[in-house]
Amino acid sequence: MRLTLSLLILSFFFAHCTQEPEVPQSGTTAPSVTDRPKGKLFIIGGGKRPPALVQTLINASGMEEGGYGIILPMSSGEPDTSAFYAIKQFTDLGLASSKFRSYNFRKGSYPQAAIDSLRNARLIYITGGDQNRFMDVVANSPVYDAIHEAYHSGATIAGTSAGAAVMSEKMITGNERRHPEYTGNFRTIESNNIEIGEGLGLLSTAIIDQHFIWRMRMNRLITVVLDHPDQMGIGIDESTAILVENGNAATVYGGYQVIVLRHPEGQTVTQDSLLGGRGLELNILLPGDSLNLD
C-alpha cells in the first residue's frame, strides 16, 4: 500500500516537473503602452525671435541648469552665418557660448563623435532656410535617429521657419506642382498642387506651416488639410511658437496667433482641379492658449 502510494506521488511529481512551458497562442501580444517622449518641441513660426520668446525656450529646455545645445544649420545656404546668429540669440540672454556646438552635417558624412554628441544634447536647434535641403541631408541617416533618441530621452528639439516645417511627419516642401514658379501667394485651392515630403516625424498628427498670417498662407493650409484629412494643419505666425510637451500638449507663446485647421468629416470632393469640403473646423489661438494634438 505504501509502495503504491509512493509510486503515485513520484509519477505526479515527474509529470509536472517535465511539463513544457505554456506557449502563447499565435497572434497574441502583450498590451501596448503608448511611448510618450520625455522631451519637448519648441516650434517657431519664423521671423524675429524676441528675447522673451527665446527665454521661454531656454526655460523649457533647462539649459540654465546644465547640459549643452547643438545648432543644426543644414537648412541654410550660409550655414556658418546661420549658426552664428542662432547661438547669439542665446548668448545675448546670458548663456555661455561654450555651451553650444554647431554641426553642419553633409549627406553621407556623419562622424560618430558628432552623432554621439547630438544624441546626448539637452537642446537641439534647427535653423531656418530650406526644409528640403535639411531633409536631403538628414532623412534615413544617423542624424535622424539621434534626434529621435534625444527627443525621447528628454531633449528639447527646437526649430524656426524651415526648422519648424521639418517637425512634421508629412512636411510642406514649399513647392506647388501646378504652379512651379514660386510666388509665395498660393492663390488657389487645388488638388495635387501642394507638394508634401518626408519630415522628421516628431509630430505624426499635424502638419506645420510657418510665417503663417504674415505671409497669408491660409489657402495652402486649407489645401493640405483637404488633401490629408487625417492630419490637423497648424499655421504658426512669425515671432510666435508652440511648446509641445508629453508628445501631445501644445501651448502658444510669443506675440501673435496660431491657426488650427481640422477636417474631421474627411469628405473631400474634386471638381476638375478644384477642391471642396464641408465641416472644416477653424480655431485661432492666442498666446497662452493650449491645444491637444491627439
What are the tens digits of pLDDT across the range 31-40?
Answer: 334 588 999 9
> Tens digits of per-residue pLDDT, 104-126?
999 999 999 999 999 999 999 99
Judged against a pLDDT cut of 70, whether residue 222 lies above it is answered with yes
Judged against a pLDDT cut of 50, whether residue 72 lies above it is answered with yes
pLDDT classification of 134: cutoffs 50, 70, 90: very high
Q: What is the mean pLDDT of the chain?
A: 90
Judged against a pLDDT cut of 50, whether residue 180 lies above it is answered with yes
**186 in Cβ contact with 174 (< 8 Å):** no
Name the residue with higher pLDDT: 95 or 9: 95
Residues in the chain: 294
Judged against a pLDDT cut of 50, whether residue 29 lies above it is answered with no
pLDDT of residue 6: 44
Distance of CA 64 to the CA centre of its chain: 24
> Tens digits of per-residue pLDDT, 227-249?
999 999 999 999 999 999 999 99
pLDDT classification of 175: cutoffs 50, 70, 90: very high
Q: In the chain, what are the domains?
A: 36-292 (3.40.50.880)
Pairing of strands 232-236, 206-209: parallel
Judged against a pLDDT cut of 90, whether residue 19 lies above it is answered with no
pLDDT of residue 32: 38
Region 141-158: mean pLDDT is 98
Region 139-168: mean pLDDT is 98
**208 in Cβ contact with 224 (< 8 Å):** no
What is the rounded (10 degree) CA torsion for 102, 212, 193, 133? -10
pLDDT classification of 182: cutoffs 50, 70, 90: confident
pTM of the model: 0.87
Judged against a pLDDT cut of 70, whether residue 103 lies above it is answered with yes
Pairing of strands 232-236, 258-262: antiparallel
| Site of grid cell 509665395 | 184
pLDDT of residue 34: 58
Region 87-92: mean pLDDT is 98
Burial of 200 (0-12, 13-18, 19+ CB in 10 A): buried
Burial of 104 (0-12, 13-18, 19+ CB in 10 A): middle
Judged against a pLDDT cut of 60, whether residue 127 lies above it is answered with yes
- For 170, residues 6+ apart whose C-beta sits below 8 A from its C-beta are 196, 197, 198, 199, 207, 228, 231
